Chain A
Amino acid sequence: MARVTELDVNGTRHRIDADPDRTLLSVLRDDLDLTGTKYGCGEGQCAACTVLIDGTPTKSCLTKVGTVAGKRVVTIEGLAPAGKLHPVQEAFLEADAMQCGWCTPGMILGAVGLLQHTPHPSEADIVSSMNGHICRCGTYSRVVQAIQAAAKKGVHA
């Protein structure tokens, strides 16, 4: 398979030169230095590596970069490009929905994806949609509160 030479990330077309079998996570972190996307397990169990691909939350550790050609990738760095925080980022800060912060970028992108699809989720919707995300510090109840607060304010991402 041909090497991947272009990737659309955060609205910019990046020139890259990557083996198509490499993970999107590795290309983002190691080639493009977008280290806000985190490695947590490499097996799709923790969702710390979540990015949006064409708007859908996707685990970048299980995504081969060769499958992303022509698609729009949004990472945490692309959520507040002009320095103004996204409402979900604001809500996470207000709810203190983090401790060490390693899972936070993935959580936020998972929440953004959820709210785009379901603008007014019930608590059960949030739990089932976010259950793939691990926060080892255990801030789950605060993440739920943050997502509820963001939904209440209305998210137009």
Chain B
Amino acid sequence: MKRRDFFAVMGGGVVVMLVDDDVYAQESGRGGRRDVPQNLSAWLHIGETGIVTVYSGKVEVGQNARTSLTQAVAEELRAPVASIRMVLADTDLTPFDNGTVGSQTTPQMWPVIRRAAAAARETLVDLASQKWMVERSAIQVADGKVTAGDRSAGFGELTNGQKLTRTIPTSVALVPATEWKIAGTSLPKVNGREIVTGAHRFTYDTKVPGMLYGKVLYPASFGATLVSLDSAAAEAMPGVKVVCDGDFVGVTAPDPFTAEKAVAALKAEWKPVVAEASSKDVFAYFKKNARDATGGAGLTAYTVAYIAHVPLEPRSALAQWKDDALTVWTGSQRPFGVRSELSQHFNMPEERVRVIVPDTGSGYGGKHNGEAAYEAARLAKATGKPVKRNWTREEEMTWAYFRPGGLIEVGGKLNPDGTLAEWEFHNYNSGPSALQTPYDVPSKKEQMHQSKSPLRQGSYRGLAGTANHFVRESYMDELAHSAGIDPLEFRLKNTRNERLRAVILAAADKFGWKDRKKAPGRGFGISGGFEKGSYVANCAEVGVVDGAVKVVRVVEAFECGAVVNPEHLRNQIDGAVAMGIGGALFEQVDFAGNKIVTNRLARYRVPRFVDMPVIETVLLDRKDIPSAGAGETPIMGLAPAIGNAIFDATGQRIRSLPMVPGKLPS
């Protein structure tokens, strides 16, 4: 949105704070814009009625970004929460953003929005100072009002119909975490009421008048190509249109029931391709196809299965063409990425594509692309009507991408005093995040080996950090036991990192590690780690009965700098514990013959109520350290803590995720 458009959209008397390249071009030399990367922008507007509207390209997927960003505004602008509107993830209205990925909203977007709000606050002080002819130092801003002595004015009143533009100076003073009044508190989810009443419209729920419902006929197996299509029966159904273009086959119908019947009536013949690997032999496949398979001999092999995100709202999109411009509503973590995809698919400039992301039914890194958006747009173009394309669960579990599987080989040697002397670590395919050990080792070799993936793979909450933590923290346990050193003591002995030590000690203390009591079928495990600016440690207690593992209790200590919203952080940790247990104990994508076997929830077990342990969280609130993200790192220590506890209970080291109970002796 350009500056003049911005005023046109918002109208009225306004103060606008922009971090925007075209404003920079107009006003270069003012403010310190150079240090703000182009992908980190936010716009803030104060209307005549005092309503504050903030524009950010971030997406709400349940991580409560809408709430935490609102807190940033309320804190710095000193505006009541109820007066703040967050406009998120609309490529026509919000500044460019790389995507809601990598736990970056808090460390990157949050400070930008704080600066925008602080600059707006200072502008209000300037306006009051001019209007009332008083010193700036005599002016206070609080609770949506500007006051000086007995004079007082609301924010909207002060803007007085002017169209003011300000850039954000780098020097603007931010409220230190030790003095936060709204940031750092447990502000409830700002749109919680819409959620509990069912009023919120997710993409899956959106409708426009006259829209059709689209379905796509996918190949019988990955990579298969279309040989022939008999669409006569489908086309005979009232209102049904069949779109066939290369290997793309889709239908539209006036209602979803007819669309389903129509796609089921298509008779297609597909030419399959030979499958390169199945879930049974994929780990050897990773090593065989690695670009640089030079792992040393004598290492210990661990494996990590592919797993599925299973966002409870499946992929969905609504596409509408008008005068060669395309508008798409879709649940994606990368609205601008989807805009770019669509622009390329349809060979049109990005300015003619608008992507809007309603608050979405979760993502976990699984909604980076515009698959449904593309399908809906393609069908809408072919039919000349708006088209809704809601994926089914089976489509979501088959045609989305997966968290990569991986083979990891690890080795290490200790000095006589139990300190690490050597460390070697090779990750095949699952990714480089958290590849480096946070422990002190004089001699180490850590390598990521790219390989081929037989499945479509992509981002995931904690992605490779989970795999690499699982292996490192499990193997640290192996080393500790080989040296006869307590696993807690062994970790402390091998790191001088004060923040890592702090979370490990906090978790062990809360858990009562030193007082733990051995009992038959009962085991205790510990893990620690660091990723994406945050430190995590877990202690887990498991019970193993007849080969079945039950996680009884989990303590998680977590430190991500200054805590933005304690209750929402605890909620994220609760969720990470739940999701972590799934990946640790039972989640696994089975595939063979270029088909997904685990293509339904009846065949792919996710954590449920009955799987939940007692969860205890210790937050280390470091007000002296800038806030880091917390969506991912809290998941990374679960699997090794549980695996180490299983070893403690049974003497069996399970070196594969998931750690399938069947592999245990009864």
A interface residues, Cβ below 8 angstroms from B = 19, 22, 26, 29-30, 33-43, 45-46, 48, 75-77, 79-80, 85, 89, 92-93, 96, 98-105, 108, 126-128, 130-131, 133-144
Contact = CB atoms under 8 A, between A and B. Distances in A.
Interface string B253-289: 0011100000000000000000000000000000000
A143 to B, nearest CB: 8
B197 A77 contact: yes
Contacts of B63: 99
Closest 5 CB pairs of A and B: A36-B198, A138-B578, A100-B62, A102-B361, A76-B198
Interface string B51-94: 00000000001111000000000000000000000000000000
A interface SS class? loop
Contacts of B188: 93, 96
A127 B392 CA distance: 27
A136 B198 contact: no
Contact of A41 (B192, B199, B601): B601
Contacts of A128: 610
A40 B421 CA distance: 51
B360 A141 contact: no
Nearest to A93: B192
A135 B364 CA distance: 13
Interface stretch (B19-27, B200-208, B404-412): B200-208
A46 B312 CA distance: 9
Contacts of A98: 62, 189, 192, 195-196
Contacts, number: 163
B451 interface: no
B575 A36 contact: no
Given A39-B204, A96-B568, A98-B189, A103 B312 contact: yes
B600 interface: yes
A96 B394 CA distance: 30
Interface residues of B, number: 57
A140 B608 contact: yes
Most buried by B among A39, A85, A100, A139: A100
Contact of A38 (B313, B575, B577): B313
Contacts of A96: 186, 188-189, 192, 567-568, 571
B602 to A, nearest CB: 6
Given A38-B204, A102-B311, A140-B608, 4 more contacts: A127-B612, A128-B610, A131-B608, A134-B606
A85 B195 CA distance: 12
Given A100-B61, A100-B312, A131-B609, A137 B362 contact: yes
Contacts of B607: 138, 140
Given A41-B393, A41-B601, A100 B578 contact: no
Contacts of B576: 138
A104 B195 contact: yes
Contacts of B64: 99
